[in-house]
Amino acid sequence: MDHIVIRREEYVSGTRDRPEIGIFTQAHQTRHPVPWGQIVIGDTVWMKWSSGPIVAAATVQGFRQIETCSAVQLREMTVGSKLFDLSDYWASLPPNFSAVVIWLEEERWLDSPIFPSARSRGESWVPLKAPELREAWLTSQAVDQPKGDTRRGARTRTIGYALRFQVLRRDGFTCGYCGRKPPEVKLHIDHLQPWSCGGLNVLENLRTSCEACNLGKGATRL
């Protein structure tokens, strides 16, 4: 079976294009976390960035399910991985929880990221139990322009996920005005020539901006 694991950038080691996908952990304070009881050795796990594309895949080498666990215990199981050194992740966990640790092998990164049409509905791990789920998650969609409009930079205010990811990656996931990064700030995509003044949704007219800078700039031309 295939699985989707959704990760926030601050909780994954490596780079945006080459994240560490040799190990993943799942934790939940009030119930068994997904994929408890739904994963076997040999399954494929696809890694998706939160609000971004699927960028990598790996094969399940082994896993462990723990009923009662602490951050210290879970961290010990990641010794030798870069995840072990992500102090912010371990500090974010509650005192006690149920956990699953998944060890992976045969890491591979996609030359063309997948931008799925499916959404997780709050879960950070999604087992793809049915063919239609696999199709929805592992088929890339064209999201930058409205259906039926093939003009480059067509006049729609919504910036598609693929284009948004291109801007964020080009700008190093950093606000182009104040230089701050997540998790300190929430990032927006700003139009250099404001949309209200005719600015288009094209890469050269877009810049990464934190929420405060974007709201403060408003429709000012730069």
Report the DSSP pairing between strands 97-114 and 23-28. Answer: antiparallel
Which amino acid is residue 22, in one-letter code?
G
Alpha helices in 62-130 (DSSP H): 71-76, 87-92
Give per-residue pLDDT as tens, 3-30.
Answer: 999 998 888 888 777 888 999 999 999 9
- With beta carbons less than 8 A apart as the criterion, state whether 3 and 39 touch: yes
Residue range 119-143: average pLDDT?
A: 86
Give per-residue pLDDT as tens, 172-217.
Answer: 999 999 999 998 899 999 988 876 666 788 888 899 999 999 888 7
Q: Which two tokens stand for residue 134?
A: 């696999």
Mean pLDDT (the chain) is 86
For the four alpha carbons of 135, 137, 140 and 144, in that order, the dihedral sign comes to: positive
Residue range 104-109: average pLDDT?
A: 93
CATH number for domain 2-138, candidates 3.40.50.620, 3.30.1330.10, 2.30.130.30, 3.40.50.720: 2.30.130.30
Rounded CA separation 156/170 (Å): 22
